[in-house]
Amino acid sequence: MKRFVLGQSLIAFFLLLGLGMPAFGQAFPNKAITLVVPAPPGGVVDATGRLLGEAMSRQLGQPVVIDNRGGASGNIGYSHAARASADGYTLLTSYSAFHLGNPSLFPKPGWAQSDFVPIAMAAAATNVIAVHPSIPANTLGELIAYLRSNPDKVSYASQGSGSLAHVGTEIFKAQTATSMVHVPYRGSGPAIQDMLSGQVQLFITTPPSVMQHIQAGKLKGIAVTGKTRHPGLPQVPTTAEAGLPGFELEGWVALFAPAGTPAEAVSRLASAVKSSVETPEVIAKARAAGLEIRYLPPAALQELVRAETAGWATTIKSANISVQ
């Protein structure tokens, strides 16, 4: 009798074990998912997170909650997401400048890239090299020649030390053998106001923030730093078209999960992102927000992070960039 009971128990155990293996993939998700946004409401990261959250909720059949945790250049949100349970229910809405730069900019950011596994890239935002009309250059070649002839005579703006514009312009300087003076601001708004008045003469920033000024002739658009021309500035060539193919500067937004998240959950979430960003509604809303839909699966996103982190780390060290 004892052998019979033991045998029945073992059979039941192995049946449960066998059923449990695929059950995670079938059942996930069965409750709300939280997208941690490491920035306050408003801006590219928040806009992308909300756009993804709404679309993924329909794809997954569960609510997707946005949790804004801004501050410390994204480190507060990243640290919170890194400590979350690795079950696929808490995700990080990652911004490239934070993801690539913070490990080199901060001695102790409170997180590491190894704390996360990639899910998918969802969107990217290109930039445009804008200059004040006082700069006697209308092409990228003329701008580079002018900067070389006038070292440190031109001031460039950024949204703050360690920002995408700051590191990106330092990469531009290194690749073109030019020299400019950095003037950090608290956001794009004040920087653009000083651009218009001529207090600073160059700003690499997102097209929507300066398009109206370029179209009105108050600023000059020299080159778009992405892979293709921007639809709002069709007359402005890309850096590759303008003779500098080695320089591209784009900000991207992607989803990551805490390290150790089951592969089944990562696969399901990546599929939901892909299906979401392929819908006409999401594509239209992304364009209205100045974003370009660009999906990358987990492996490709991981390779992009590896490659771009190396470049950022080199520039931050060589340019002695500090957030202090």
Q: What is the CATH number of the domain that holds 214?
A: 3.40.190.10
13, part of any domain = no
| Residues 213, 290: Cα–Cα separation, whole Å | 16
Mean pLDDT of 285-296: 90
For residues 171 and 308, membership in a common domain is answered with no
For residues 133 and 113, membership in a common domain is answered with no
Boundaries of domain holding 199: 128-224
pLDDT in tens, 160-174: 999 999 999 999 999
For residues 105 and 185, membership in a common domain is answered with no
Q: How confident is the model at residue 306 (pLDDT cuts 50, 70, 90)?
A: very high
pLDDT of res. 247 = 95
240, part of any domain = no
Mean pLDDT of 222-226: 96
| Residues 294, 104: Cα–Cα separation, whole Å | 26
Question: What total number of domains does the chain contain?
Answer: 2
For residues 133 and 80, membership in a common domain is answered with no
For residues 121 and 134, membership in a common domain is answered with no
pLDDT in tens, 24-44: 445 899 999 999 999 999 888
| Residues 204, 146: Cα–Cα separation, whole Å | 17
23, part of any domain = no
Instruction: Write phi, then psi, for 257 (nearest 5 degrees).
Output: -125, 155
Q: What is the mean pLDDT of the chain?
A: 92
For residues 195 and 143, membership in a common domain is answered with yes
140, part of any domain = yes
8, part of any domain = no
For residues 91 and 170, membership in a common domain is answered with no
283, part of any domain = yes
Rg value, the chain, Cα: 23
14, part of any domain = no
58, part of any domain = yes
